Structure 1
Amino acid sequence: MSSSAPASIRRVVAVANQKGGVGKTTTVINLATALAAAGHRVLVIDFDPQGNASTGLGVEPADRQPSIYDVLTGEETLDGATMATQVPNLTLVPATRDLVGAEVELLEGERRDQRLRDALFDGAAEAEFVLIDCPPSLGMLTVNALVAADEVLVPLQCEFLALEGLSHLLHTVDRIRRSRNPDLRIRGVVLTMFDRRNNLSEVVAEDVRANLGDTVFETVIPRNVRISEAPSHGLPVMLYDWRSAGAQAYIQLARELLERYERDAA
């Protein structure tokens, strides 16, 4: 992969969709791996109490201390909670179930919606890309991620009424932009779980593109058994089976993302 983003600019990307099961965590893991494989320094912040991004990168629950919860509560710095992964250039701040409590605790704390932004301001200086795996909700954790982020990447499953739930997320992004983070932008929408054998996938893809235009990435992530199998082995699909259609799709998505950054800089 030859495209490259300017190394001097750190981009913080919140990968978000309040609907679960749309390929959000899968996109974080595999897009991060593809960017790292292209030579970029990438940090994944697992911001979901389920901790699936940590699992998918091969980090067992017993090894997730300190975690992003400790960063939010001020017990640890972001750099202090960052750990290496088996992927060169890719580091991780893991999540634990303690994040469930953080959702409640943040409702009453000072700078409650800016904890993650404060942590990023003081840490992760080496990362060119920070990918935040948001929980499948629009609660305080996701608000923290959106306040901290430069942009939002939205995985959208190719299913009936796919656009309906997206409107709620876009409304939240607009609200955060107006009140807390004026520079926040939508980087793009990624169509996931695309099944070429199913006419519905084609119809949904056409509908989404008709409504959102160039916001939608050309790259489509297929429904692929290798993508589904890889997390159970604690591996990104590129390490599990780089020849698979799923791995190649995420490589292409990373290439397209980097090309968008190049166009922005031109």
Structure 2
Amino acid sequence: MTKIISFSNQKGGVGKSTICLQTVFYLVEAGYRVLAVDFDPQGNTSSRLSQSDEATYTGTPSVRLFDENMHEIQPMKCVRGMDLIWTTKNDPELSEIESLPLNCVVNPITNLKASGILDNYDYVLVDCP
């Protein structure tokens, strides 16, 4: 069964992205299949894991997980051995997620489950804003 770990704190600058990244690296090194989901509008987790220009991001951006009935989810394959559902730096769409109706907050996990993608991973690590 896939384990989902979220890194969150109401205060910014407390190391959420750093701890998420280090946990991703540790789990990949230990041989686990890992999916990282970057919901932080700053996009630091995405830029560190992808090691590519934003123009070359592929697959599903994390903001799309908030859409209703988003069942076609394609993570980006990263050179370091993990997969990533990414965001660009300072993504204005992701910054506006807080204004969505409360019932939309469950869409990401609902969409991940419905897509069947969770079966491909031992761990899903979520970097929260």
- Preserved contact between residue 54 and residue 60 of structure 1 (Cα < 8 Å): no
Q: CA deviation at 1:60?
A: 2.7
Q: Alignment partner for residue 11 of structure 2, among 16, 19, 39?
A: 19
RMSD: 1.9
Q: Which amino acid counterpart does residue 55 of structure 1 have in structure 2?
A: S
Matches within 5 A, 1:1-266: 9-57=1-49, 58-64=51-57, 66-74=60-68, 76-77=70-71, 79-80=73-74, 82-88=75-81, 90-96=82-88, 97=91, 98-104=93-99, 106-107=100-101, 111-122=103-114, 123-135=117-129
Q: 1:62 to 1:103 in 2, by over 3 A?
A: farther
Question: Any gaps of 5 or more consecutive residues in structure 1?
Answer: 1-8, 136-266
Which string of whole-angstrom CA distances, capped at 9 and with x for unpartnered residues, describes residues 66-125 of structure 1?
Answer: 301122124854632x1111112x110001302012332x227xx312111201212332
Question: Any gaps of 5 or more consecutive residues in structure 2?
Answer: none
Structure 1: how far apart are the matches of 2:65 and 2:72? 6
Structure 2: how far apart are the matches of 1:61 and 1:71? 19
Q: 1:126 to 1:72 in 2, by over 3 A?
A: same
Count residues in correspondence: 122
Structure 2: how far apart are the matches of 1:61 and 1:103? 24
- Preserved contact between residue 53 and residue 133 of structure 1 (Cα < 8 Å): yes
Give the TM-score, by structure 2 length. 0.83
Which string of whole-angstrom CA distances, capped at 9 and with x for unpartnered residues, describes residues 169-206 of structure 1?
Answer: xxxxxxxxxxxxxxxxxxxxxxxxxxxxxxxxxxxxxx
Structure 2: how far apart are the matches of 1:77 and 1:112? 15
Q: 1:83 to 1:36 in 2, by over 3 A?
A: same
Higher helix share: 1
Larger radius of gyration: 1
Larger relative CO (CA 8 A, sep 6+): 1 or 2?
2
Give the TM-score, by structure 1 length. 0.42
Q: Which amino acid counterpart does residue 83 of structure 1 have in structure 2?
A: M
- Preserved contact between residue 73 and residue 112 of structure 2 (Cα < 8 Å): no
